[in-house]
Each structure stands twice: as structure tokens, then as C-alpha cells.
Structure 1
Amino acid sequence: MYFFLTNLSLVDVSYATSIVPQMLVHFLKEHKVIPYVSCAAQLFFSLGLGGIEFVLLAVMAYDRYVAVCDPLRYSVIMHRALCTRLTVISWVSGSTNSLMQTVITFQLPMCTNKYIDHISCEILAVVRLACVDTSSNEVAIMVSSIILLMTPFCLVLLSYIRIISTILTIQSTEGKKKAFHTCASHLTVVALCYGTTIFTYIQPHSGPSVLQEKLISLFYAILMPMLNPMIYSLRNKEVKGAWQKLLGKFSGVTLKLPT
């Protein structure tokens, strides 16, 4: 689990780094300009890292499935070689899809108006600049979303169906709590990540407005990299103890009256 969490942390930090610094520069400048090559690089890294995270979350769901449904054989099944192969598959699949989408997108002839109405070089925002029919690009986005987004999402659902059915067969209440605690953090991150992305990319024509796309991008670029460590660290007893002490200081306030 911690091996996969290390990769997830690296993906989150890299994703934020690919968008946030340039976004801060644009906030400070009156003329917000990004070079063509930089825009392509930003699209490649953000799209690739997003795809890697979705596949990685599916891999982590399988890891939680083995931990709950077959705990006695966990160390035998989830050995280092398998974990490494699954992680490599995540990085290769996300990077390959991103490379193809970036090449297809930047082969489109752009109009004279090159104003990107977005916080970054997001794929749908760049496609809107084209002077030709972009229906084939939208179909390509749809297909890649189904392969790299819906397929991992379905695998996550199958894993949790098996996990929940196993938890329900546990007799003791303490055992059920322990099994649920094992998956609670991952399930929270899955709901946050997959929900908003499916809402954005599965239906490019009838999808959200430009403002909604901007808010979703801000959520992924800033909030998700901040929330993921907090969500997973709450499973740590020392971290929970520190939070309880901190909240206790603020909750027990003594009113000092004037003399």
C-alpha cells in the first residue's frame, strides 16, 4: 500500500507542478501568454499524469481487495515484482495516451484567435481553437476516456463489490470496522477523482460549461494534491492524535473577563 501511495504522491506533486507555477505567473502578468511548445508540454504532462492516477487508483483498489478478501495470502499475491509491474503499467498507459492525444490535438490548424479560455492548456480548451471540424478529436477524447477512465472505474467498482460482500460476511463488529477502515481512505479519493472527471470528459458536446471546467481544473491542480495526503494520513494513529490535541486546544477556550 505504501509503495502505491508513494507513486500517487509523486503523481499529485508532478500534476500540480505542471499547472500551478504557470498559472501563478499569469495571475501576476497583465498580458497572459504561453509559448506554443510550453502549451503542448503542459497538455502532455497534465493529461498523462491524470491518466496515470486513474489507473493507479484501480491498482490500489485491487490491492485493497486482496487485503480484505484474501488477507492470509496478501504478502504472497502482492509481492514486490507484481507491484512494480502494475505501477509500470499505470505510468506507461497514461503516458502513451497523453502522447497520442497531444499529437492529435496540436496537428489541428488553429484560428487567428488563439485565446485559451481556461486556466491552463486543457485539451478541450485547445480543441476549441481549431478552425476545422473537431468531431474526430472529440471521438478520440471519448474513446480514450472510456479506455483510461471508465475501464479502471469499472475495475474499482468490481473490487469494492467484492470487498463489501466480504465485509458483510464478517461476524464481529470490530472486524467489520477494521475492514472498512482499510478501504475508507482509498474509497474517498476514488469518489473525488473519478466523479468530477467523468462529469467533464465523457460527453464533450453536452458536458459542463467553461466555468465549470475551470473550477474542476482548479480542484485537480490545487485541492486534490492537498487533500490526498490529508485523507491518507488520517489513518495514522499519531496524526489523528495530533489533530485531536490541536482541536482540543481550540474547543476548550476560557473566557478572561476584564478586571
Structure 2
Amino acid sequence: MKPKFALLIAAVLTAFVLVIVAGVVRSLAQPSPVELAAGLDNSLPNDNVAQATATVQAYQQQLLEANQRIEEANRTIDEANARLQEPIVVREPAPAQQPIAQAPAQPQPAAQDPLPATQAPAVPQYPISADQAGQLALAAAPGAGLLATPELVNYAGTAAYEVRLDRGLVYVDATTGAVLTNNAVVPPTQVPAPTTISADAAASAAVAYLGGGTVVRVELEEEHGALVYEVRFANDSRVYVDAYSGSVVYAKVESGSSNDDKKDDDKKDDDN
């Protein structure tokens, strides 16, 4: 029995008992049957005494029945209270089992025949071959050497050959043959080292400068940071000739020489 239903029965029975109790109290407040009978004997005529007696008996019978109903109501209330004290076990209905939907069977892909062991993916063909790309790269970097076979790569979204040279990488378009990038470093132009003139050439330049004379010694030396030939003459005159250009840079002419008028110019050259 559910708790709400049991409480409803107890409330109805309690109300019923209260109604009966109120009726009994009202009856007790009225004069007793004996008093009514005595009063009736004194006030009523003899023919009404029997009627009053019958009324009193009927009232007593109703009172007896009311007491019995009260007792039955009390018993019902006790039974309801006893049921309320019992633990209530609430059984929830078992959930209905939902049918398990079966997924439709997936079609199995048809077995494909394996590729033959000798079959390889096709390599795209381009107008420019690897050998041609190597030659184009070498032409773009004169004097460079090829280190490896050019490889086909994706250069900025363009199919190109990567050519590895000893000076760097060169990328050649596989379709047009144009050089996309040239990273081959060109070595700087080497200036050949200046060569010196011979001692005989320096002596000839000194003799021509003095207008004659006998050369007794020619020495290569450094004067004032410049490499020069010192040409000495028999009269102890000295002429210094640039070892690279062959020009006279300084002259010391002794007296008695026919070239005394060149002393001033020689001094100027010495100062320079």
C-alpha cells in the first residue's frame, strides 16, 4: 500500500470518529432518559408515556450502535498505523528491453589483384632531361664542376632539376630549361701579381736617364716602402729605378758629371 493512500484512509476514519464523538457529546448534554421519563410522567398524559419510553429505548439503541462503530473505527485506525510502521518496498518496473538495431552489413570491397613486383609508379616525363639540366647549370656557372646527377624536385610549385655543383646549387626548370636560381658562387677575379723588370732593364733605364755612364753594380732593394733597383755608376752616381714600372724614381748625381743640371729634379724625386 502506498503511503499517500494509507494517510487518506486514516484521515477519513479520523473525521468519521470526530463526527460520532460530537454526536455523543451533544446527546450527553441533553437530559437523561430517566429524567425525561420522570418529567414525562408528571407532565405528559398516560397515553404518551409509552411513546416516550419507546423513544428512549430507540435512543439507547442508537448510542450502542455508535459505540460499536467507534470501536470498529479505532480498530481500523490501529491497523492503518501498523501498516504505516511497516517498511515500504517500492518496486520499480523493469525497463522494457529495446530491440538492438543491427547495423546493415557493409559491403566488402572486392579484392584487387596485387601489382606485379616489377611494376613501379610512372615517373612524369619533362622536355628537359637530367643530363640537359646539368649542362645548362654548368653553362650558367662557368668553371664549376658537377658533383652528382641532377634530381627532379618541386621548386616553389614548379618541377625543376636540382643540380649540385662544387660552387653551390642551381635549379633548372624541367619544362622550359630556364635557370630558376643560381647559387653557384663565382670566385673573384684574381689580379695577377706584378712582375719585376730585370736588372739589365733597370741599368739601361738608369744609363738613359744620365745620358751615359759606366754601370758598376745593380742591386734590388726597398727604399721608402718601394721596391727599386739601385744602379751605381763608376763616378759614384746612383740612380734608383722602380722595379715594376722601370721608371726612375730618384737619382744622386756626383759632380763632374755632365748631368749636374738634373740634380734639382733628382732632389724633388727624392722628396717624393
- TM-score normalised over the length of structure 2: 0.18
Which structure: greater helix fraction?
A: 1
Q: Which is higher, the Rg of structure 1 or of structure 2?
A: 2
Which structure: greater strand fraction?
A: 2
- TM-score normalised over the length of structure 1: 0.19
Higher relative CO (Cα under 8 Å, sequence separation at least 6) belongs to 1
